[in-house]
Structure formats: C-alpha cells, structure tokens
Amino acid sequence: MKGFLLTRGAQALLVILIMSFVIYSLIGLMPGDPIDQMISADPNMTSADATRLRALYGLDLPIHQRYWNWLSAALSGDLGYSRLFAKPVLEVLLPALKNSVMLLGLALFMSICIAIPIGTLAASKPRSVFDYGVNLFAFAGISIPSFWLALMLIILFSVILGVLPAGGIAQSDAGFWESMKYLILPAATLTIASVGGHARYVRAAMLEVLRQDYIRTARAKGAGAMRVVWRHALRNAMIPVVTIMALDFGTLFSGALITETIYSWPGMGKLIFDSVMGNDCNLALIALLFATTLTLVGSLLADICYAWLDPRITLGVSEQ
C-alpha cells in the first residue's frame, strides 16, 4: 500500500511538473506579451526601449530558462502579480476557490442525494419502466449542452418569471437567503447535468453487488427484497460510487467553467476563462496549474479508494 501510494504520488507530481512546462509554453504563445501591452499603452516607446525592457524582464531568454526562472520564483512563494485584478495572484485565487467549493459542494451534494435513491431503485427493479426512465435521464444529462441548459434556466426563472437573478453573486453583507438566490441557478445547472450520470454509476454498482453471493444468502435467509437492497447492498455499492465522486470532484473544477462564466459566478472556472481571455499570463498560469493539480488529486484519491477498499474487506464488514 505504501509503495503504491509513493509511486502514484510520484507519478502525479511528474505529470504536474510536465504540465507546468506545457502550460507555461502555451501561455507564452498567447497573443501579446507584457512588453507589447506596454508599447500600446505608451506611444513614445521605441523599439530599442522594447528590446531593453525585454532583456530586463528576461523575455529574450530561451523558453526553458524562462521556465526555470519562473519555477524557482513560484516555488519560493512568488506567484507573480495579476494584471487584470492588480493584486497578487494568490489574493485573487483564494476567494475564487472558496466560491467554487461552495458551488460545487452544493451541486455534488444535491446530485448525490438524488442519485443514490433513484439509482438504487432502478437497480432493484432492472428493466422496469423506472429503470429505463433513469437510463434516459442519465443520457439526457450527459448529452445536454450545459451552457444551453443554463440559458434556458435563466430565461425561465429570470426573464419570464423574474424570481431569481440571472447571474453574479450577492454582496458580502447580504443575508443568507439573498446569497442563496444567486447560488440556486448555477447549482441547479450543475446538478441536472451530473445527476443522471451519477444515478447510472449507483445503478451499475448496485447491480454488481446484488449479484454477489452474500446477498443471495441474505435473500435465502428470508430477508425482504427491499430490506436486502437498502440495508445490505447499498453499503457495499457505495464504494465504487464514492470513488467515482472523488474523481468527479476534481473534474468539476474545470467542468464548471462554463456554468460559472454564464452566471458570472466568480469561481475558479470563470477566473481561468477571464484570465486567458484577458491575457493575464501570471494568473492564467497559476489558475490552470491549480485546476490541473486538483483534477490529478481527484483521480489519485479515486485510485487510492479503489486500492484501499479491497473487496474481501468489504465482504467481511457486510457479514457482521
């Protein structure tokens, strides 16, 4: 187990390092570098000035040296300055992270609360109308363009009914319900898009567990069908489900990019989008790396869950 953790951790670290270089190079290829922006701001600047400035900032160095300089600065805690927000990068990043966690946490929580009961019900009556309904719903969730879903919700609740705000976030001094109002639509969008997929995972995991021997034994001992499903099987079916969700939480950070952008929800996704679009290199770099790291950590956690929750152990637990 320890060896497994070490190798996987080292692998993830390696991927992060590689990705930091890739992202650094890509960002360098985005339109306009800082000096160009200065030139356009100051018409008196000559090309000789520009060259001198480039040398000053180290922009004329080959890419790997620039990367090395950036990396050593970043590792010593200097993440640079955001041009767009005129603040140190970290000060911009942390509130965005808080907002994202709030939104994603709520969405994931709602999704799980809905997915577990309907997935379990579907698995307990495979091939029933309800089962097909869940399947259809899951496919719809996977196939729906989330930005369109968001637009439709805005049209319905903001334009037509006028009950919820179309986007943004409440003032920091607003009351709880006032803040919730801004959270409802984005959270609902994310939930609708993911609940179907989650229900399918729950269903598949339940079916797998219901096939196992000890469930048959419990049935043979006369436990009622529903009781078997809910008391004995669900606990074991949760293992793959938890794994999937660990995986999902990481990906959600980037997946929520569109939802956050449409609703102007100031989270990580919108931050990434804005910084890339606004050529805010320092911020974009850190935000992207951060999203990459979170996604990798998510998949690492999922792997650990899998390796940890050895089937034999779970069987032992259920037979008590």
Partner 1 sequence: MVMLAPAIEKLLGLNANMVDLFNRMQPASDTHVFGTDELGRDVLLRLLYGGQVSLFTGLTAACVAATIGTVIGLTAGYFGGRLDAILMRITDGVISLPLLPLLIVLAALDLEKIGLPDELVNSEEVSFYRIVIIVALVGWTTVARLVRGATLSIKEREFIMAAEGVGAGHLHIMFNHILPNLISTIIVAVTLSVGNVILLESVLSFLGLGIQPPMPSWGNMLTNAQALIWEAPQLAFYPGMLIFITVICFNFLGDGLQDALDPRAEY
φ/ψ bin of 77: left (φ > 0), alpha (ψ from -120 to 50), beta (otherwise): left
Determine contact, residues 300/12, Cβ cutoff 8 Å: yes
Which CB atom, from 23 or from 239, has the smaller least distance to partner 1? 23
Q: Which residue has the tokens 């607003």?
A: 174
Which CB atom, from 11 or from 65, has the smaller least distance to partner 1? 11
Which CB atom, from 155 or from 313, has the smaller least distance to partner 1? 155
Q: Pairing relation of β-strands 87-88 and 81-82? A: antiparallel
**Contacts to partner 1 from residues 191-210, by CB under 8 A:** 204, 207
Which region among 66-74, 85-93, 96-104, 283-291 touches partner 1 (by CB under 8 A)? 283-291
CB of residue 315 to partner 1, shortest distance in Å: 21
**Token duo for residue 139:** 């496919």
C-alpha angle 144/260/183, rounded to 5°? Answer: 95
Which CB atom, from 123 or from 218, has the smaller least distance to partner 1? 123
**Contacts to partner 1 from residues 75-94, by CB under 8 A:** none
Phi–psi pair at 167, nearest 5 degrees: 170, 180
190 interacts with partner 1 by CB under 8 A: no
**What DSSP designation does 88 have?**
E
CB of residue 278 to partner 1, shortest distance in Å: 10
CA 246 – CA 307 distance, rounded (Å): 14
Q: Where are the alpha helices (DSSP H) in the chain?
A: 2-28, 34-41, 47-57, 63-75, 89-124, 129-143, 146-154, 176-210, 213-220, 225-227, 234-255, 257-262, 268-277, 281-308, 311-318
222 interacts with partner 1 by CB under 8 A: no
Phi–psi pair at 115, nearest 5 degrees: -70, -40
45 interacts with partner 1 by CB under 8 A: no
CB of residue 51 to partner 1, shortest distance in Å: 18
* Cross-strand bridge partners of residue 81: 88
258 interacts with partner 1 by CB under 8 A: yes
CA 71 – CA 76 distance, rounded (Å): 9
Which CB atom, from 37 or from 72, has the smaller least distance to partner 1? 37
Mask: binding to partner 1, 285-314, rule CB under 8 A, as x and -?
--xx--xx-xxx--x---------------
19 interacts with partner 1 by CB under 8 A: yes
Determine contact, residues 53/311, Cβ cutoff 8 Å: no
Which CB atom, from 30 or from 174, has the smaller least distance to partner 1? 30
What are the residues binding partner 1 (CB under 8 A)?
Answer: 11, 15, 18-19, 23, 26-32, 126-127, 139-140, 142-145, 147-149, 151-152, 154-155, 159-160, 166, 204, 207, 250-251, 253-255, 257-258, 261-262, 269, 272-273, 276-277, 284, 287-288, 291-292, 294-296, 299
